[in-house]
Structure 1
């Protein structure tokens, strides 16, 4: 195997597909979910509220948590990693709910876990949804949306996928199709162990793609799952790839990123 840190995309990689997790957004202050320093460990009451079976009683907690995350994402904006992916013009499969890929300019983004920037109806048969204005508070009105669905009157909720809920079928279908057409499949900032997202890299590999993990702290066993594992900062690796691919010298064009 080629030493991981030496890997860069080559001219043979014409279809790069990215799978991103919370690690690419952590620099904004959103943090990650799993691990000893993750949200589930630090705020166990939040993890408990993420179970679909607790609805509708958990709605105040959901609005408080996801509204705060959406606000942080909007205030801090995309990271250099998000912007590099957008400049590469690569399609993105994301497990994130923060909308930062779209904010960076990525045009093809499939959101496996929904979006904290949208509200949806709690009613199973109702398809109402709307963009929200993230704020602080435990009521939907604190985030610019009504408490009751304007179509059917059911409560409104953040449009994110909770534990025990199915992933959006259209988003998952697009993710599978993107993985199959990749000749370079790059996972960034994700543990790669949560299904069904965990099957995407093997699916891409089965269709001939080179697979790469970019994670500053790769999970145990990841070197057995990917052709290359770069234990480096994605906010340095991805802009470097973008410079090489576009043959741009220096770093003056890189977007500033506030500390």
Structure 2
């Protein structure tokens, strides 16, 4: 595995693309999903509610869980890693639903798993959606949206992708296009086991990209997938990259952040 600082993007890397997972947002208090300390292990009833076939009975639990996560994200704001990616002006493919890349200033963000900052209609043929105001509680009204769709009367739900649901087609297509166009593909804070996101680094490599994983605790098999594996804190590595790329001397505005 590469040590921090051993790999740094150079002038030849003109098309950097990031793939981000829950590890990038963990510093805000959102935590991760998998592993012994993940949400699925600590709150098994929450994991059970994430299956699409449990709708609509699972809606109160979904509103409670995703509303709380959206509220935490808004209260804490972007991390140094999010801000560094935005300063690098790199497009982002994210498995996160917290909106922190957009809050940091990233312009191109493909949200593979939807957004907890939006509500949508449970009706399969209805395209209604609305920005919500994250709060606490099991009702849509607790998060500033109606319980029934204003267009068709179906129940409303958080606009996140549940198990057994299709990923949003436009975001998936954008992700595939970005992976093919990248000359440097960087995965940050993701286990790399969830498809189709897990196929993006190999896809980028097939089209000539250098691939890098930045993760504080990378899986053992990561070295077989990525050219460089940095077993370091992304909130240190990525601001270093940003300072090097933008020739920022000394400390950066990114450094004072604390969670």
TM tier relative to shorter chain: over 0.9
| 3-state SS of 1:64 partner | helix
1:170 deviates by: 0.6
- Partner of residue 50, structure 1: 50
- C-alpha deviation, 1:253, in angstroms: 2.6
Matches within 5 A, 1:216-235: 216-235=216-235
Is contact 1:4-1:228 (8 Å) kept? Answer: no
Kindly report which structure 2 residues correspond to 1:205-244, keeping only aligned pairs within 5 A, or say none: 205-244=205-244
Query: Aligned pairs, how many?
Result: 258
Question: Contact 1:118–1:159 at 8 Å: present in 2 too?
Answer: yes
Task: Give me the whole-angstrom Cα distance separating, in 2, the residues matched to 1:165 and 1:123.
Answer: 14
Q: TM-score, normalised to structure 2's length?
A: 0.98
Residue aligning to 1:85: 85
Residue in structure 1 matched with residue 36 of structure 2 by the alignment:
36
**Distance of 1:199 and 1:173 partners within structure 2:** 13
Separation in 2, partners of 1:23, 1:253: 22
What is aligned with 2:139?
Answer: 139
Instruction: Specify the alignment match of 2:193 in structure 1.
Output: 193
Structure 1: tracts of 5 or more residues without a match: none
Secondary structure at the aligned position of 2:17 is classed as strand
Deviations 1:170-220, CA, capped at 9 Å, x for gaps: 100000000000000000000111100010000000000000000000012
Q: Map residues 104-143 of structure 1 onto 2, 5 A cutoff.
A: 104-143=104-143
- Pair 1:249–1:232, CA change in 2 (3 A): same
Q: What does residue range 150-161 of structure 1 map to in structure 2 within 5 Å? A: 150-161=150-161
1:184 maps to: 184
CA contact (8 A) 2:2 2:231 kept: no
1:258 shift after superposition? 3.2
8 Å contact kept, 1:22–1:190: yes
Let me know the Cα RMSD of the aligned residues: 0.9
What is the CA–CA distance in structure 2 between the aligned matches of 1:227 and 1:4, rounded to whole Å?
13
CA distance in 1, matches of 2:229, 2:19: 14
Which residue in the other structure is 1:14 paired with?
A: 14
Rounded to whole Å, the distance in 2 between the matches of 1:90 and 1:193 is 23
Deviation of the 1:112 alpha carbon: 0.1
CA deviation map 1:124-172 (0-9, x unaligned): 0000000000000000000000000000000000000000001001100
CA contact (8 A) 1:186 1:214 kept: yes
In structure 2, the gaps of 5 or more residues are: none
Q: Is the 8 A contact 2:243 2:252 kept in 1?
A: no
- TM norm structure 1: 0.98
